[in-house]
Amino acid sequence: MRLPRDHDYAAEYSDFRWIGPLCCWACGRYGPTERAHIVNKPRREDTRAVIKLCSICHKIQHGERLAGEERPRLLVEHMLWLKSRIDPSRYDRAWLQRHTVGRLPTARAVADWYLTRMMQNDELLALLQGG
């Protein structure tokens, strides 16, 4: 279900951590989350442009290597997939394309490492199963 056309996505940006599941959308870990921008050239403070990641997944997404971490890198196509599955009312591919440089990749499911952990989180599991 899409939000109304006149919905103020920018106004809810600062409260995004309280919207949707209160966990990392990639690994399912509960705790503090960060807004990870799907598109950031230019950076937009808009809830259509972000997903929630824990600090570890966010660092991995930015390409950092962390000692002892086996998580695969999260790419834009994975972030698009997460947004479309977990926050479908704020997923607007056309809007994202208008606010990025270059062509957006096709959304692609995250690696099995993430899927396994997501399936252990009842909140994410319900969303992934369409509930």
pLDDT of residue 50: 96
User: Which residues pair with residue 35 across a beta bridge?
Assistant: 52
Q: What is the pLDDT of residue 1?
A: 61
Q: For the purposes of burial, counting CB atoms within 10 Å of the CB of 95, is it exposed (0-12), middle (13-18) or buried (19 or more)?
A: middle
The candidate with the shortest Cα–Cα distance to 74, out of 126, 25, 116, is 25
Could you give the maximum distance between any two Cα atoms of the chain, in Å? Answer: 45
Name the 3-class secondary structure at 43. strand
At 131 the pLDDT is 56
pTM listed for this prediction = 0.90
Strands (DSSP E) contained in 26-118 are 34-37, 50-53
d(CA 112, CA 93): 24
Q: How would you write the pLDDT of the chain (131 residues) with one tens digit per residue? A: 667 777 888 888 888 888 888 899 999 999 999 999 999 777 888 999 999 999 999 999 998 888 988 899 999 999 999 999 999 999 999 999 999 888 999 999 999 999 999 999 998 888 887 75
Amino acid 77: pLDDT: 97
